A and B are shown apart, each in its own frame.
Chain A
Amino acid sequence: MYNRKLAKLLTHSYQILAVILILLAGGLLLLPNYEKHEGIEPESLLANAISPERYISSDELAHKIISGDPSILVIDVRDSERFESYSIPGAINIPLEDILDEENEEYLDQAAYEIVLCSDDNFYADQAWILCNRLGYKNLRVLQGGMQDWFNSVINPPQPDEKMPNSEHELYSFRKSASMFFGVAYEDEVKATPPSPKPSPKPKTVAPVKKKKKKMPEGGC
């Protein structure tokens, strides 16, 4: 008698379990649907975009290029015409409209280089940076002030006058030698340094940026 009751209960318990399973699966259907968004949360994107950490000054960039820092890679987001006319030596060109193309992903989403985005000002470079940041790309910087600032502070530095503090003069002499490194010649320096052949902005031989391994290694068996 007892056994039969138990057996009856047991058969029921399987049915209950089956119902629970179906309910759990059906619960998935009932969940309010929303589109999974691409990239990081809006809140953190806004915080990242407002923080000035991404900026690198022209002087800093010039210093890194002159000292031959191998980890630096400049990406010019202007159109190719502007890029052809002049760009920072060693820069590669990815126009803003192509910044999300798949073939450019290996340049932007990587861990080997510190990428500096630049445009005429930093407006377009910032746009590129914000989009890339949303996708979670790391190691991206923006040249503050863009090519304008590059010109005004590195290529054609304003000469400080006598009254200015010493640090200004030091900065000027650094900038002046930097500008000479980038090909500018000065008449008053002619005797000291014979005009060296202009270091033509040769296209940097970009070693294929090692792509961060995203996929897991061969799983399963």
Chain B
Amino acid sequence: MGPLIPNEIIPAEWNSIFAIVIGIAFGYILESSGFSSSRKLAGVFYGYDFAVLKVFFTAALVSSIGILYMDYMGYLDLGALYVHPTYLKGALIGGAIMGLGFITGGFCPGTSICAAAIGKIDALVYVGGILIGIFLFSELFSRFEPLYDGGFMGYITIMDAFEISPYVFVFAFTLLAVLSFVIADIVRKRVKKVVY
């Protein structure tokens, strides 16, 4: 029964090795899907390329459906997984700042690392920017602290927050995602093509 390392089925020393293997796969998939190109990434906001939306939603759907199936069949304990904590203030304001950073820089951290790895100079500069941003945040941590800790709601999931069956939620999410794929294709046909 998974997760394997916290349940000590695989010794904890393997953690770092799996980290590298998973990282390689992650980097390979991101790069091969075209996420090393900032103009392709930014395309989703101007309607000329929806790769981000497609990859992101497909990954979210496949992973959440797969995890639910594995949980149902007893291979994976959903309760033992790390759930991203919900800090309402931090998530909203931090997310808004990240969105602004996304549209100005054209990358998000994972993709910028990929792009830097294949020699994109703008991505290297972007990674430098991230490092400076983290540095600034840490130095001014006392200023940001109320924002950072604000609106803590616990390690909650959709099931806890809305008391809805995860299966119903995922089904609705799937329908929504498929609809968004259809709309994305329609929009893409209408918008003027951008060559990059």
Contact = CB atoms under 8 A, between A and B. Distances in A.
Contacts of A24: 65
A21 interface: yes
Contact of A22 (B82, B167, B178): B178
Interface extent on B, as a size class?
10 to 19
Interface string A200-221: 0000000000000001100111
Contact of B84 (A21, A28, A31, A219): A219
Contact of B170 (A25, A216, A219): A25
A25 B165 CA distance: 13
B72 A31 contact: yes
Contacts of A26: 171
Nearest to B77: A36
B12 to A, nearest CB: 11
A28 B178 contact: no
B152 to A, nearest CB: 14
B167 A29 contact: yes
Contacts of A22: 171, 174-175, 178
A28 B61 contact: no
B167 A28 contact: yes
B170 A28 contact: yes
A29 B168 contact: yes
A29 B165 CA distance: 9
Contacts of A25: 61, 65, 170-171, 173-174
Given A18-B181, A21-B178, A28 B171 contact: yes
Interface in B167-190: 167-168, 170-171, 173-175, 178, 181
A18 B178 contact: yes
Interface residues of A, number: 14
B167 A21 contact: no
B68 interface: yes
Contacts of B173: 25
A28 B69 contact: yes
B109 interface: yes
Determine which residue in B61, B174, B175 has the highest number of CB atoms from chain A within 10 A of its CB, and name it: B174
Nearest to B181: A18
B95 interface: no
B6 interface: yes
B5 to A, nearest CB: 9
A161 B181 CA distance: 90
A21 B181 CA distance: 12
A219 B174 contact: no
A221 B82 CA distance: 13
Interface string B67-107: 01100100000000010100000000000000000000000
A174 to B, nearest CB: 39
Given A28-B72, A28-B167, A220-B82, 15 more contacts: A18-B178, A21-B61, A22-B171, A22-B174, A25-B61, A25-B170, A25-B171, A26-B171, A28-B69, A28-B171, A29-B167, A31-B167, A216-B82, A219-B82, A219-B84
6 contacts: A21-B178, A22-B178, A26-B171, A29-B168, A29-B171, A216-B82
Interface of B: 6, 61, 65, 68-69, 72, 82, 84, 109, 155, 167-168, 170-171, 173-175, 178, 181
